[in-house]
Amino acid sequence: MTGVDWRSHYPFEGRKFPQPAGMMNYVDAGAGRPILFVHGNPTWSFYWRAALTALQGSHRVIAPDHLGCGLSDKPQDWTYLLGDHIDNLERLVLALDLRDITLVVHDWGGAIGLGVATRHPDRFRDFVITNTGAFRAPHIPLRIAVCRTPLLGELAVRGLNGFAGAAVYMATERGLAPEARAGLLAPYDTWAHRIATHRFVLDIPMSPAHPSWDTLVAIEEGLPALVNHPMRLVWGERDWCFTPWFRKEFERRFPAARSFPLADVGHYVMEDAPAELVRHIAEQAQ
């Protein structure tokens, strides 16, 4: 999308945090009690731009880009496993000494962010959970399973940008403005820059033989440590990936959670319903 101005919609100065495999980019703006935003695949901190802009006047807002994503380094020889993404986020949280955190997560950010929270429940005050999972699921959507096909999946995802490129249409119900599509896709412009997009797809653990299975089980088993933390579930009900089944599973595991299904919203909740989601985050983080 040459010529489309997306940068004016993301007016944040990136900071760099050294990780063992490369430099992690992150937004750190405002002051006050921290709100930590953790994105999924194939987005990056640009996805949170409306919330960062709206809330930086009242809170400290932090939004990292996972390695391989956004403006972070994209090492070609790293593991890209769930446990290593959790380790990276944990190092950032500890280095910034974040406490009394409101955690906002989406997609793979749920497993990564809640993975850190289960390790350090005392650092987290409350949660806003959107269209994600942090536990084993019974099946994988066909559209994602196809992207895991040997050789053809990598060609589609890394060669044709068939995952991120399709998501800007298939993950939204209300449609995206050209600058939103351009911004979401900007970091994923070459085969090398799409490595994390593909590795995230491959890293969905569906059997005990998968290298991230035990990590996901550990997160799932650690969730009871968070059950007394206030939680909001803000869910795009038209999501074909993290369907309402996932919302109901969170409700089962967190009976005190407040649930807010959004009937005409897809997977990209922050894109389809920015005003609604920002309002929920602001109310939760008061």
So where are the chain's domains? 11-284
Q: Residue 141: pLDDT above 60?
A: yes
Q: Residue 39: pLDDT above 80?
A: yes
Q: What is the average pLDDT across 92-117?
A: 98
Tokens for 59, please give them.
Answer: 């809170």
Tokens for 279, please give them.
Answer: 């309002």
Give dist(CA 125, CA 101) in Å, integer. 5
Predicted TM-score (pTM) of this structure: 0.97
Q: Residue 7: pLDDT above 80?
A: yes
Q: What is the average pLDDT across 130-144?
A: 94
Per-chain mean pLDDT for the chain = 97
At residue 142, the pLDDT reads: 86
Tokens for 110, please give them.
Answer: 């749920």
At residue 1, the pLDDT reads: 53
At residue 253, the pLDDT reads: 98
Give dist(CA 277, CA 270) in Å, integer. 6
Q: Residue 215: pLDDT above 60?
A: yes
Q: Residue 149: pLDDT above 90?
A: yes
Q: What is the average pLDDT across 89-99?
A: 98
Give dist(CA 212, CA 126) in Å, integer. 26
Question: What band does 3 get if pLDDT is binned at 50, 70 and 90?
Answer: confident
Question: What band does 143 get if pLDDT is binned at 50, 70 and 90?
Answer: confident
76 to each of 22, 80, 122, 196, 273, how far by Cα in Å?
10, 10, 35, 9, 35
The side-by-side arrangement of strands in the sheet containing 101-107 is: 15-19, 22-30, 60-64, 34-38, 101-107, 124-132, 231-236, 258-262
Q: What is the average pLDDT across 51-64?
A: 98
Question: What band does 59 get if pLDDT is binned at 50, 70 and 90?
Answer: very high
At residue 121, the pLDDT reads: 98
Phi, psi of 126 (to 5 degrees): -160, 175
At residue 2, the pLDDT reads: 59
Quote the radius of gyration of the chain (alpha carbons, Å): 17
Give dist(CA 154, CA 252) in Å, integer. 36
Chain mean position to CA 45 = 9
Question: What band does 8 get if pLDDT is binned at 50, 70 and 90?
Answer: very high
Q: What is the average pLDDT across 212-227?
A: 98
Instruction: Indicate the DSSP class of residue 258.
Output: E
Give dist(CA 229, CA 243) in Å, integer. 24
CATH 3.40.720.10 matches 11-284: no
Give dist(CA 128, CA 212) in Å, integer. 24
Q: What is the average pLDDT across 78-99?
A: 98
